[in-house]
Structure 1
Amino acid sequence: MPPPSAPGDTPAIGDDVRRQAIAWFVESQSGSMSPLRQQALLQWRQNDPCHEAAWNRLASMEMLSRGAAGVNSALALDVLQQAGRQRRRTLKLLAGAGLTGGLLWQLRDTWLVRQAITDHHAGIGERRDLRLPDGTLVSLNTRSLLNVRYDEHARRLILAQGEIIVTTASDPQGRPLYVETPAARLRPIGTRFIVRHESDALGTRLSVNAGQVAVSRPAGTEEIIVAAGQYTRIDRHDIQPPQAETGSPAAWADGLLIATRMRLGDFVQELARYRPGILRCDPAVADLRLTGSYPLADTDRILAALAQTLPVRVTYRTRYWVTVGALAG
């Protein structure tokens, strides 16, 4: 195992490595890690000094949290009091896995903790349908987090992360419906539409199937109208003018990933949303193009199909670490 770095030599730790380290750490603290997975963790730590640095930082945080139990107890208690019964059970499981005190607070933005304090979520590879009290139908795609806030004045769907399809219903009380993301506020006008928000950097994508949607920034008053058959993107800077929708953004609701002359790198990045672990594409083959309709129920079969139809090979370092790369030689 690489020796610990000196304080001045600590390598920079990127967001992807940080997320990988957290996932490994949570699994290692679960009490059910198999010898094979323990070996895979050891290999991951040895592969890159950044990996080992991220792991050591997490371990240090965990020790500090044990030594400072209760420092963030008020925050944890507030979360527990606001969470529903199922979310409280999940948070107790996290605490039982050693994620207490300061460490739990440090991990507050990770998937495991965020889903524990969210009203509705779809896990990796999952799709869920929700029928709301007013009859509105919401479909959640993989890795999605949604809060529902209905009161006497408005109906609000707050998409923290992921992707949803909304089919609106008229409200007997006449309350307006809003869909909110960190980048946008959407006001549907008798419609069916798809909203996707993966990160603040990528912003929000809106595609309208039927009706219209009025789009504004979260704190803005100026709206633009996106009509059926159009899409737009909203980021931290602006709202892009609506354009004709040429893709199939709702195909996931039918369990499909559809590609039309799609870059392999983009395809692999999209497929990675539907499977646990790490799935990456070697830059040497990222610009290859593919067209097809792929059932999402079996992502390993999709990877096998890539190896059969393109000049690539699929390498499984473990079940949870897969690379699509160039053929040898």
Structure 2
Amino acid sequence: MSRRLDTPSTTPQLDNDAVLHEALQWLVTLWSGEASRDERQACELWRRTSPAHEAAWQRVQSLDNRLGAVPASLAAPTLRGARQRARRRAVLRSIMFAGGTGALAWAARDQVPWRSWTADYRTTTGEQRRLVLADGTRLVMNTATALDVRFTASERRVLLRSGEIYVATAHEAPATYRPFIVETAQGSVQALGTRFTVRQGDDLSYVAVYEGAVSVRPAHSLMAQRIEVGERTTFVTDRTNTPSPVDTNATSWTRGVLVVEQMRLDAFVSELGRYRPGLLRADPSVAALRVSGVFPLGDTDRALTSLERALPVSIRYATRYWVSIRPR
């Protein structure tokens, strides 16, 4: 189910959890007392990028006000320690608990994605993580992913709060069989002895099947649709869209690389940007250039350097968090 914040009609709708999360990351950076001049400028640039960014920034200021009563002796060391560990999740969790019921009430009222921050399992931006669940099912979590695991006597359910997962389901004996279900904001995907991926987007969910099949059921529909091996599709709360062939390179992220063949540069930048903090943009004049290659996800700066060598483009760093790709 998509989230909608109560805002005046003149304010952009804040239905994108990722934008709110970015705003909070910037807030934490500035709160730390260690933000550099470049980081402050990058924050200003981020706010000016779109009305939604500025609206999200204004909304998180209410959290700043609510936490104003937190003693500086408690708040500052917590933030600085978390920055040294480079763990945004720890920072945000520290803020939520330090702020007490006021901060929690703020999060609940405004639908901030606090469930993602406190999920059973979580990856940070650019991180992949492998899990083996109690039944033997293997999961690979992609960048900025959060999920909860809910196994009961009658079913095996994974709640995908954000991000993307690769699933290789374990087989259970017929006498003890429990359906394996991945639930997203738009509906659910039931495995039928399979390997598949599920991705939670802003307004829709993505699913691709690499072995077996899955059954997709949108949250507000009584109809389920079977997606076969070699197919991918998207779904929203009331319908499943027409399947199309899978991209054979789509799971390359599970090996720590991004493999692309003749991908438009703007699409490539959008995909690579999922694995690095801040903003990565391509100038419209080079957006239609085609990219092919194997790029490391663990070192996106090196991936950008490779891009600069392969194409007539120049990589411009305003800051570590604000990078533009322009004509050479």
Q: TM-score, normalised by structure 2?
A: 0.78
Query: Superposition pairs for residues 165-314 of structure 1, below 5 Å?
Result: 165-172=166-173, 173-199=176-202, 201=203, 203-314=204-315
Judged with a 3 Å threshold, the aligned counterparts in structure 2 of structure 1 residues 216 and 38 are, in CA distance, closer, same or farther, namely closer
1:259–1:290 Cα contact (<8 Å) kept = yes
The residue identity in structure 1 corresponding to 2:201 is: E
Cα deviations by residue, 1:112-139 (Å, 9 ceiling, x for unpaired): x444311111111111111111111111
State the SS of the aligned residue for 1:225.
Answer: strand
* 1:27 aligns with one of 14, 26, 29: 29
What's the secondary structure of 1:284's corresponding residue? helix
Unaligned runs of at least 5 residues, structure 2: 1-9, 71-88
Residues 165-212 of structure 1 deviation map (CA, whole Å, 9 limit, x = unaligned)? 11011234211111111112111111111111121x2x1111111111
Q: What do the CA deviations read for 1:70-126 (whole angstroms, capped 9, x no partner)? A: xxxxxxxxxxxxxxxxxx976662147x75554554456556x44431111111111
Contact 2:120 2:148 in 1 (8 A): yes
Tell me if structure 2 keeps the 8 A contact 1:66–1:101: no
Q: Which amino acid aligns with 1:26?
A: V
| Number of equivalences | 295
List runs of 5+ in structure 1 lacking aligned partners: 1-9, 69-87
Aligned partners of 1:62 and 1:99 also within 8 Å:
no
Q: Sort the Cα spacing of 1:187 and 1:12 in 2 relative to 1 into closer, same or farther, 3 A.
A: closer
1:89-128 correspondence to structure 2 within 5 Å: 93-95=94-96, 99=99, 101-107=101-107, 113-128=114-129
- Distance in 2 (CA, whole Å) between partners of 1:12 and 1:220 is 29
Structure 2 CA distance for partners of 1:135 and 1:66, relative to 1, 3 Å = same
**CA-CA distance at 1:246 after TM superposition:** 3.4
- Give 1:82's aligned residue: none
Aligned to 2:78: none
Higher relative contact order (CA 8 A, sep 6+): 2
Give the direction of change, closer, same or farther, for the CA distance of 1:261–1:218 in structure 2 (3 Å limit).
same
| 8 Å contact kept, 2:205–2:236 | yes
Matches within 5 A, 1:146-161: 146-161=147-162
Q: What is the match of residue 80 of structure 2?
A: none
Q: Give, as a single letter, the amino acid of the residue that structure 1 aligns with 2:294.
A: S
C-alpha distance in structure 1 between counterparts of 2:103 and 2:151, whole Å: 33
% identical equivalent positions: 34
Q: 1:186 to 1:18 in 2, by over 3 A?
A: closer
Query: Partners of 1:52 and 1:218 in 2: how far apart?
Result: 31
* Cα distance in 1 between the residues matched to 2:297 and 2:224: 36
The structure with the largest alpha-carbon Rg is: 1
Q: Is the 8 A contact 2:272 2:300 kept in 1?
A: yes
User: Residues 147 and 20 from structure 1, CA distance in 2 versus in 1: closer, same or farther, beyond 3 angstroms?
Assistant: closer
User: Structure 2 counterpart of 1:145, which letter?
Assistant: A
RMSD between superposed Cα atoms in Å: 3.2
Query: How far apart are 1:262 and its partner, in Å?
Result: 0.7
Cα deviation per residue 1:288-308 (whole Å; 9 max; x = unaligned)? 111112121210011111211
